[in-house]
Each structure stands twice: as C-alpha cells, then as structure tokens.
Amino acid sequence: MLLETRDLTANYGQFRALFGVNITVAAGECVAIIGANGAGKSTLMRSITGVIRNEAAMVLHRGEPIGALSSAEIMKRGIAMVPEGRRLFASLSVEENLLIGGQARKAPGPWGLEAVYELFPILRERRKNPGTALSGGQQQMVAIGRALMSNPELLLCDEISLGLAPVVIRDIYAALPKIREGGAAIVLVEQDIGKALAVADRVYCMMEGRVTLVAKAAEVTREEIHSAYFGVAA
Amino acid sequence: MIWLDTLVQGMLLGGLYALFAAGLSLVFGIMRLVNLAHGDLIVFAAYLVLIGVTLLGLSPWVAALIAMPVMFTLGWLLQAAVLNRVLGKDILPPLLVTFGLSVAVQNGLLEAFSADSRRIPAGALEGASLDLGLVTLGVMPLMTFASAILAIVALNGLFYHTALGRAFRATSDDAVTAGLMGIEPKRVFAIATGIAMVVVTLAALYLGMRANFDPSIGPARLIYAFEAVIIGGLGSLWGTLAGGIIIGVAQTAGAAVNPEWQILVGHIAFLVVMLLKPRGLFPRAVD
Amino acid sequence: MYRLTTRTRAGTATEIAVFVLVLAGLALPAVTSRGVIQDLFFILTMLTLAQIWNLLAGYGGLISVGQQAFVGIGAYAMFAGVILLGWNPVAAILLGGLAALALAVPTAFFAFRLQGAYFAIGTWVIAEVTRLLIAQWKALGGGTGTSLPREATSNIMGTDAIQALFGVREAAARDILAYWLALALVVVVTGCIYWLLRSRLGLALAAVRDNVEAAQSVGVDVGRLKWAVFLIAAAATGLTGALIFVQTARISPEAAFAVTDWTAYVIFIVVIGGIGTIEGPIVGVLVFFALRSALADYGSWYLMTLGLAAIAVMLFAPKGLWGLISARSGLHLFPVRRRLAGLKIEGGN
C-alpha cells in the first residue's frame, strides 16, 4: 500500500479536527476525498504532508511510519503537494517556481521543465513573469507543475478547482489523465463532486472529521453521497 | 573642490558601511531577524584576524581568508543551536537573545583582549593614495568600496542565479510551503547566517586595517549598518549600498562643517529618509 | 447577579502585604546604614524603569531600545531647572517629566511610522541624536557634563528635617530623601500600571498586543492607545531619570543617555524576571541586584553572565523566572484577568 493512515487524529489546540481517519491509496490509484467546508479534508492533507505533526504510526508510506516527520522529509520520499490556495512564491518567477519544486529531490521519471511546459504550454510564454502575476488558473497550473517536477509517486491536490471558472477547471482536469500516465498516484481533495468522481477510481467522503463513505467512484449513488456529505438522507 | 572631495570620501566611507550592513541585510531579508550582536560579531572577527596576524605571522589577507570558514561555522552554529529556537512571529525573543549575545561577546572580548585599542597592520597600504588630479583617493578606502561592490555582486549572484538562492527567497516568502517543496527552513537559515558571517569577516578586515578598534565599538557599527539596511529597504542589497553611501556622505559632510557633528548628521540623514520613505528606498513588494 | 471582577484572594492579600511593606520601608532609615539606603534607592529606581518598560513592551507591544532618551532628557531638564532657573532639585524633578513628555511627541510621531524591528532601531537612533544634541549644550557642561551646585544640594527641601529626625549628616539625609521619593515613585508608578491594566484601557491594550486587526474591528482606537501608552511611559521615565540624577548630583551625556544602564539592564530585569507581568520585574530586579553584588568585583564577567542568562531564559523559560513560578503554583499576586464572580455555573464540560 503506497499510503495509509491509521486512526489518524489531529487537533488545533483544544479543538479536535480529525477523529480516527483511515484511508488508503494504492500505487497508481486516483482517490477523491470530498466533503463540505470544515469536514477536515485539508487537515487530513496537512497531516499527511507533515505540516501538522502526528504520532509516527498514524501515517504510513509503503508501510513505514512517517507521521512525525517534517514536510521536507516527507517530500523527499516522493509525496508532493499542490497546496490549497496555490501558494506560489512571490519572489520567484514562473520558471523558478517550477525549478524549486524539483531541486530538493532528484528522481527518475517523465517530468521535468520541458515536460511541464508541454503539459501547460501557456506557462512557457510566461516563464519569466513573477509567479503571482498570473491568473488564478495559470497559477494553479504552476502549482501543479511545481509539484510534478520532483517526479513524485504520490501527488496530493488540495482543492485545485477552488475559485476558478468552469472553463479553467476543465483545462486543469484535462491534465490529470496525463499525470496518471506518468505513473503517479493522485489524491484529489475536492468540493466539486462531479469533476472528482469523473477522474477518480475510489472516493472517500468526510464530514466533521470522520470518514462517512468509502466507495468505488463508478458504483456510488447520488443518495449515498448526499447522506455521507450532509449527514441527512436525500 | 572641497565639496567634491567630501562627496567622494563620503562615498568610499559608505562602502565600508555597506560591508558592515551586507550580512545584516541578508539575514534580515531572509528571516526578518534583527541581530543586535551584529556589530560585536564584526569586532569579534576583527580580533580573529588580529590573532592570525600577530600569533601566526600571517598577512591580514591570509588571516582573513582563514577566519572566514571559522566565522561561517560559528554563524551556522549560532543559528542552528540558538536563533532557530527563538525565531517565530514574536520579534521580542530573537531581539532579546541577540541583545544578550551582544553583551556577552563584548565582555568576553574585554576579558580576553582588554580594552586596549588595537589595529590590524596593513603595511604599505595604510597611507597609500591615488592622486587623480581633482581628488586624492586613499587606496584602502578604494579597496573597501570595491570589496563592498564585489560582495554585493557575489551575494546577488547567489540569490538570483543559484538553487540555494532560490531556496533563500522561497523560504523568505513562505517557509511552510518551502518545507512542502523539500526545503528545510532551519537549514536554510543556518546557511544564511553562516554566509553573513563570511561577509562580516571581510568587513572586519577593513574595519581593523582602517582604524583602531576595541571591544566596545560594536554597537555603533550596528547602528550604522542598520541605518544602511533600513534606508535601502528590505531585501535589496544594492539598496543597502545606497543606504551606506547616504550615511557615509552625510557623516563626512557633517564632519567637514564641524568634526563634533559627524555622527549626528549621519543620524539625522537616516531620520529624514525614514520620514519620507518609512519602508526604505527600494523595498521588496512582499513584506 | 454576577459582576466582572479582577479581584482574587491572592491579589487582595498582596495589596495588604505591599501596604505593610511600604510602611516598613518608610521607617527603614531609622535602623539601617547609608549603604543599604543607597542600594535600595538603586533597586527601587531600576524597578520603576523596569515596570515602565514592561508596560511598553510586554503589554503595549512597543519594543523600545531608546528609553534612555527620556532618562537623559529628564535628568538634564532637572539640572537645567536647578542651574539655569534656580529651582529646588526636588521641584525640578517635575521638569524632568515634562521634558520627557515633550520629547516623546516627536519621537512617537516619527517612530510610529516604523514597524517591529525598525521601530526599535528608530527609538535607539533618536536616543543617540538626543545625546549628541545635548552634548552641544555648553551651559550644562557640554560633552563632559557638570554637577549640581553646592547651594542647591544643601537646600533640597526636607533634608534639614531629616537630619534632625535621624541624626545624620547632610549627604546621608539627601540619600534618605531620595530613597523616600523613589519608594513613593515606584508605588505610584506600579499602582498606576496595575490600575491601568485592570481598567478597560488595559483590556484594550491586551487585545492590541494579541491581534491588532481584531482589536480594531471591535472598535479599539489602536493609534490613540499606542500614543497614550508611549507618552505616559516617557513622562514616568523622565521623572525617574530626574530623580536618579538628583541623588547622583553629577551628570554627563554619556551617563545620562547610557544604553547599558537605562536600557540593557532594564530589559534584562524584565526578561529574566518575566515579561508581561507586574510580578516579573520585581523578581527580576532582585535577581539582578543579587548578581551584581555577587559579581561586583569581576567587571566584565558580571556582564557576560547577564548576557548569557538572558539568552538562557529566552531559550528555556521565555516567560521568565516568575513565569516558571506562576506556572507551577498558579499564583498571581497582581491579577489582571477578568472573571465572572457571583454566578454558579451548572453542568457543562
């Protein structure tokens, strides 16, 4: 199993945000995690990537405990994040933002500067612009490209459609199958259920810090999602 | 031609101040750390070079070259073991720790070397000058200015054309996301302080060759360095040079009118710039 | 019904204890030597400066490294009052407070344009500028300084009575008078700070310190608050500076505007004792004085120890010694927390 969380709990001070969350991601898989605001999806992502530290055994990468490691250590193991809100570096150009994604970890794989420019051609034109001088959609592309540069085996995408126009979201999601072809497993945290289910193999639904649904994306029904998402029957 | 002479001497003095300030600018720009011990660390490095010259019989340049890796290591250790632990959103702890360090270093030097004034012997260079007709330039101040330019060019090169420089800028923008990119902020900070200490050693070399020094002159150097950094604006090394030149010219002009006024005019120039441009002359967009 | 209160049993007990201590303190000169009185004067004046800096930095979030400007200007204003206007030194102390207040206005105007570390350095530069300007004032001794004239020191109000009361010589009587004034000053200043923190102004201050935007969003006028705190602190510092130099009777720009004596030591006292509490500086000044007495003969070792102690405290006990004591025992001698009294709350977690 590529990634596994076991009874993952997380607190913000006195406030508990995750209550014993169990998810698994197999190599090459695409898993969607859906849920309303405040359900704990981002907290889950931050726990996996070390922004929030947990007990070591709560998060396992290929069976090894990584729950207590720092973000940098986790990233070097091949788990890359496209953070919520993009979070590009304002002092770096587009190209430098991409380069910095790949400088801490040199791993073999299909992704590099040229490959990312092929995936998102508009970035090649804007390569010298400051990272934050782009439109929201283009910034999202930079954020995804930046994460790909290290050839991760697991790509975590935290709300990549947030604040973007539907046309732009479509372009971004069009890139996902190509990313899967490259061999990476993907975790998609999304509020746009339709888009998420269209690309995912399996889906988790979260509500108030707990997993309320696990299902194959192709088999899950609207009613199941509705009650898992909102906690009340459709 | 007195005024031209004053202007030129002031500019060259500014080069020295820019050297004092460059390391400070680097650290301040990357981690918003106000190192109140910076001036005393320059004096410390000057004593290190002095030891190399007097005890080991080396030339000042070689002594400085040897002192640089020593200072790099000390800076790295200081950041890794002490300053990294107090860095955070509150500016008070690092301020107080470096304040304590400043006092400790000053008095440690006092114990070790006494309050006697010392000088790093520079041999023939000490009085040498270049006669350019309109003005006469001292060779030492000219070399100091040239070194300041070289240091800034090198630092900018590091900042904007290397992977390490990218890491510096990214960590300064957003340390958490830098972590997500595999960059350990604490390691970056330690390297930055180490590099700053190398520049400090260069500054110390010129400080020691130019005039007498003793353990108590650190805080004054700190103030001039800070004024230069603040005038220049956060994150701009060329701005720091401009700041140094402004302070240097102001001081020299003040001294030309009345020697007692030298330092006062320098401070007043700082205050005037701060009134007109509170964020400095060339501040970064992100702050 | 319920009411909002800051009173606790420990707080009330402390108030009574302080009252008793002050009474005892007033009578002390009858039974102790001149040396002890001088030491106490030093402790009390440093404590006053520390409480003021604590208010500024610990509560107001204004980290000033330039308070020596107000100590110096206060002292020089007092000297000016005596030497140039012929005032009695005790009365001239008030001039010190006024002068400091006057200096604080342009200082605040300039410094408040700066943030954080810039603000700190800005206050330091202003102190340096003040020192350099004062050193040009030839009438008060210029760069080398001057002393209080004999006629002034022998006529300080009340010293005759003290001489008769305690049977001491004139110089010792001056010290006793200064000590009493210092006692009064520290009680008034600490009392005012304590009262301020328990008032609505204090609540606003705490809000600003924690989160400026949030405080503004509930209507706290941050700008006016900072001005008020800064000006009050400056005036009080000026008064203290004037008093200190009444006792010394000799002044020079270096001594009056010394960054070490009036800022470094003060900061150490607050930090080592515990910033952000009224008890902290009290603990701090006692530790400081103990260290000073123990290491007095060792010059630079003493200062080195102070420096290293400050580093250690910041690394391992950021809330200072009082913070450690308070955390262990839950003791708050000068409580400023508000709580609801008179209400029984049932259930809940």
Q: Look at A72 and B179 and tell me if their CB atoms are within 8 Å.
A: yes
- Cα–Cα–Cα angle for A176, A179, A183, rounded to 5 degrees: 135
SS3 sequence, B109-132?
HHHHHCCCCECCCCHHHHCCEEEC
Residue B261, both tokens: 């006024």
Residue C303, both tokens: 């200062």
CB < 8 Å & 24+ apart, contacts of A40-43? A40/A10, A40/A206, A40/A208, A40/A209, A40/A210, A41/A158, A41/A159, A41/A189, A41/A206, A42/A84, A42/A158, A42/A159, A42/A189, A43/A10, A43/A12, A43/A17, A43/A18, A43/A209
Distance, in Å, from the CA atom of C324 to the CA atom of C334, rounded to the nearest integer, reads: 16
B183 chain-A contacts, CB cut-off 8 A? 72, 100, 104
CB < 8 Å & 24+ apart, contacts of A111-116? A111/A148, A111/A149, A111/A150, A111/A151, A111/A182, A112/A149, A113/A149, A115/A148, A116/A145, A116/A148, A116/A149
Confidence of residue C342 (pLDDT cuts 50, 70, 90): low
The DSSP bridge pattern shows strands A24-25 and A3-5 to be: antiparallel
The residue among A45, A49, A69, A71 with the most chain B CBs within 10 A of its CB, best to mutate, is: A71
For residue B217, the 8-state DSSP code is G
The DSSP bridge pattern shows strands A202-207 and A210-216 to be: antiparallel
Confidence of residue C345 (pLDDT cuts 50, 70, 90): low
Please report the pLDDT score of residue A93 as a whole number. Answer: 94
Q: Does B80 touch chain C (CB under 8 A)?
A: no
- Model confidence over C142-198: pLDDT tens digits? 888 888 887 777 777 777 777 777 777 777 888 888 999 999 999 999 999 988 888
Residue type (1 letter), C266: V
Q: Does B84 touch chain C (CB under 8 A)?
A: no
Q: Does B162 touch chain A (CB under 8 A)?
A: no
Going along chain C from its start, the domains and CATH numbers come out as 3-259 (1.10.3470)
SS3 sequence, chain C?
CCEEECCCHHHHHHHHHHHHHHHHHHHHHHCCCHHHHHHHHHHHHHHHHHHHHHHHHHHCCCCCCCCHHHHHHHHHHHHHHHHHHCCCHHHHHHHHHHHHHHHHHHHHHHHCCCCHHHHHHHHHHHHHHHHHHHCCCHHHCCCCCEECCHHHHHCCCCHHHHHHHHCCCHHHHHHHHHHHHHHHHHHHHHHHHHHHHHCHHHHHHHHHHHCHHHHHHCCCCHHHHHHHHHHHHHHHHHHHHHHHHHHHCEECHHHHCCHHHHHHHHHHHHHHHCCCCCHHHHHHHHHHHHHHHHHHHHCHHHHHHHHHHHHHHHHHCCCHHHHHHHHHHCCCCCCCCCEEECCCCCCCC
Please report the pLDDT score of residue C245 as a whole number. Answer: 94
Which residues lie closer than 8 Å to B179 by C-beta, 6 or more apart? Answer: A50, A51, A70, A71, A72, A75, B185
Q: What is the mean pLDDT of chain C?
A: 86
Q: Which residues pair with A15 in a beta bridge?
A: A12
From B234's Cα to the closest Cα of chain A, the distance in A is 13
Residue A186 near residue A17, CB atoms below 8 Å? no
Residue B140 near residue A53, CB atoms below 8 Å? no
Q: Look at B107 and C300 and tell me if their CB atoms are within 8 Å.
A: yes
Q: Which residues pair with C250 in a beta bridge?
A: C147
pLDDT at C302 over 70: yes
Residue C204, both tokens: 């606003």
**Closest by Cβ to B177, choosing from A70, A87, A91:** A87
The distance from CA A89 to its chain's CA centroid, rounded to whole angstroms, is 18
Report the range of poorest mean pLDDT among B169-173, B211-215, C127-131, C301-305.
C301-305
* pLDDT averaged per 10 residues in sequence order, chain A, 234 residues: 91 86 93 89 92 91 93 94 93 94 91 93 92 90 95 94 89 91 92 88 92 89 83 68
Size of interface B-C (CB pairs under 8 A): 109
- Model confidence over B85-115: pLDDT tens digits? 998 877 778 888 998 899 899 999 999 998 9
Residue B28, both tokens: 């301040």
pLDDT at C214 over 90: no
Nearest chain B residue (CA) to C305: B104
Q: Residue ranges per domain, chain B?
A: 2-114+138-276
Going along chain A from its start, the domains and CATH numbers come out as 3-230 (3.40.50.300)
Residue C277, both tokens: 């509490």
Please report the pLDDT score of residue C314 as a whole number. Answer: 87
B99 chain-C contacts, CB cut-off 8 A? 264, 267, 307, 310
Please report the pLDDT score of residue A11 as a whole number. Answer: 86
Please report the pLDDT score of residue A188 as a whole number. Answer: 94
- Model confidence over C67-85: pLDDT tens digits? 999 999 999 999 999 999 9
- Model confidence over B111-150: pLDDT tens digits? 999 899 999 988 877 778 888 877 888 888 999 999 999 9
pLDDT at B151 over 90: yes
Distance, in Å, from the CA atom of B40 to the CA atom of C252, rounded to the nearest integer, reads: 25
In chain B, % of residues over pLDDT 70 = 99
**A76, containing H or E segment:** helix A71-76
pLDDT at C116 over 80: no
Q: What is the mean pLDDT of chain B?
A: 91
Question: Distance between terminal CA atoms of chain C?
Answer: 23
Q: Which residues pair with B154 in a beta bridge?
A: none
Q: Look at B103 and C303 and tell me if their CB atoms are within 8 Å.
A: yes
Distance, in Å, from the CA atom of C151 to the CA atom of C156, rounded to the nearest integer, reads: 9
B163 chain-A contacts, CB cut-off 8 A? 99-100, 103
Distance, in Å, from the CA atom of A99 to the CA atom of A112, rounded to the nearest integer, reads: 9
Q: Does B286 touch chain A (CB under 8 A)?
A: yes
Residue C84, both tokens: 């140039």
Residue B43, both tokens: 């004096």
Nearest chain C residue (CA) to B98: C311
Of C227, C208, C314, the residue nearest C271 (C-alpha): C314
Residue C272 near residue C287, CB atoms below 8 Å? yes
Residue scoring higher pLDDT (A38 or C237): C237
Q: Does B181 touch chain A (CB under 8 A)?
A: yes
Q: Where are the alpha helices (DSSP H) in chain B?
A: 2-31, 38-56, 60-77, 84-86, 92-113, 139-161, 163-173, 175-180, 185-210, 218-232, 237-257, 262-276
Angle, helix B38-56 to helix B2-31, in steps of 10 degrees = 110
* CA dihedral of B232, B236, B238, B244, whole degrees rounded to 10: 30
Q: Does B247 touch chain C (CB under 8 A)?
A: no
pLDDT at C43 over 90: yes
Confidence of residue C323 (pLDDT cuts 50, 70, 90): confident
Distance, in Å, from the CA atom of C304 to the CA atom of C3, rounded to the nearest integer, reads: 50
**Closest by Cβ to C311, choosing from B82, B230, B264:** B82
Residues of chain A whose C-beta is under 8 A from some C-beta in B? 49-51, 70-72, 75-76, 80-81, 83, 87, 89-92, 96, 99-101, 103-105, 146, 150
Please report the pLDDT score of residue A3 as a whole number. Answer: 92
Please report the pLDDT score of residue B101 as a whole number. Answer: 93
Is the pTM value of this prediction over 0.90? no
B170 chain-A contacts, CB cut-off 8 A? 89, 91-92, 100
Q: Do chains A and B touch (3 or more CB pairs under 8 A)?
A: yes
CATH 1.10.3470 at B2-114+138-276, yes or no: yes
- Model confidence over B174-209: pLDDT tens digits? 999 999 999 999 999 999 999 999 999 999 999 999
Report the range of poorest mean pLDDT among A213-227, B224-238, C200-214.
C200-214
The DSSP bridge pattern shows strands A3-5 and A59-61 to be: antiparallel
Sign of the torsion angle spanned by Cα atoms C267, C272, C278, C281: negative
